[in-house]
Amino acid sequence: MTASGSPGLQPDPHTAAVMATWVDEQLTDRMGIRIAEWDPERIVGTVPVTGNRQPYGLLHGGASAVLAETLGSTAAALWSMPDRVPLGLELSCTHHQAATEGEVTGICTPLHRGRGTASFEIALHDEQGRRTCTARLTCLLRERPPR
């Protein structure tokens, strides 16, 4: 994942290397998702509207879901790794208002962080500060298989 130069906390080298393999040259790169802030209590990331629109010129709801799952999975990884790995279990998105230009910013905060599951709320806003989507991601935290 690419940090945009914002001075957030960075994951430890092992976690960063594992997480980089999840997203390098994958969907998040193709969509232009960037992680701006890494902190166990708050993950912040963005997605551009341009290139991620549906046919009517609005940010695709799936793009909002991908941003939400990316931020929530990152938060779950920071919480659980290196002993456990997060696996998405449930993603729920409520789309409130359409974004038509600029970037959408997501802010992910923990709701529950246990040994077996972790849940996060991800609030997405457009550049005018209007909430475009509220998402909740729950991840199953599996024990890391032996290397």
Catalytic (active-site) positions: 69
CB 103, CB 49: distance < 8 Å: yes
CB 75, CB 16: distance < 8 Å: no
The tokens describing 24, both together, are 């390098």
The letter for the amino acid at 22 is: W
Q: Which of 7, 5, 10, 63 is nearest to 40 (CA)?
A: 10
Dihedral sign, CA of 10, 113, 26, 143? positive
